[in-house]
Chain A
Amino acid sequence: QKEVEQNSGPLSVPEGAIASLNCTYSDRGSQSFFWYRQYSGKSPELIMFIYSNGDKEDGRFTAQLNKASQYVSLLIRDSQPSDSATYLCAATKGTDSWGKLQFGAGTQVVVTP
């Protein structure tokens, strides 16, 4: 079992709709969780991170964390064609504070005009 699991997709979303991405993790000690966006052939770029239960909003993006269920999600509101990318979920390894992360395999999102 991978430590961080995501549906590979592709997730097809009409332009203007909400894209909902899910991620589960197995390490109960993980403290912080991250969503990265990666365009084809490019390196990952950080969208947002979350470490407290509940919701965290940043522009069109909302991250949700439920530590009891070991579940992290990302909502993208008003999806745009430029949001078409692979989204990587990542979690810190246990209580590690050195920046080491466990990554999921990524969910491909395709926003259709």
Chain B
Amino acid sequence: DVKVTQSSRYLVKRTGEKVFLECVQDMDHENMFWYRQDPGLGLRLIYFSYDVKMKEKGDIPEGYSVSREKKERFSLILESASTNQTSMYLCASYRLGSGNTIYFGEGSWLTVV
């Protein structure tokens, strides 16, 4: 079974702090994603990576950056956390040609106070 692991499930951070959310997948997938999910808004794509060191902005990249130094690991960085970034963050991975199967991690619940 494919496993997408988000190491931090629940975090509480202060406004202005730098926050790192880590995601690791174990199936050698090329593509990885960070989404955030908010009530009434569904999942929105923050950033996408299609290879090591390659990244592409999604629909809501403002206030976020990402890092992909190794194929299996995709990190989301909040340079200076703000209260409007309180949300659930979902990492996902996808193998090209895998039949459209996208695997999600368990989610990271971030509260910024």
Contact = CB atoms under 8 A, between A and B. Distances in A.
Interface SS of chain A: loop
Contacts of A45: 104
Interface string A23-52: 000000000101000000111111001010
B42 A98 contact: no
Given A34-B100, A105-B42, A43 B48 contact: no
Contact of A99 (B43, B102, B105, B106): B102
B41 A105 contact: yes
A88 interface: yes
Interface residues of B, number: 24
Interface string B84-103: 00000010101010011110
Contacts of B94: 98-99
Interface residues of A, number: 25
Contacts of A90: 43
Interface string A84-113: 000010101000011111011110000000
Given A42-B107, A43-B105, A99 B100 contact: yes
Contact of A100 (B41, B45, B105): B45
A99 B100 CA distance: 7
Given A8-B40, A104-B42, A99 B31 contact: yes
Given A34-B100, A99-B94, A99-B102, A44 B43 contact: yes
A8 B41 CA distance: 10
Given A44-B43, A103-B43, 4 more contacts: A43-B90, A43-B106, A49-B99, A98-B96
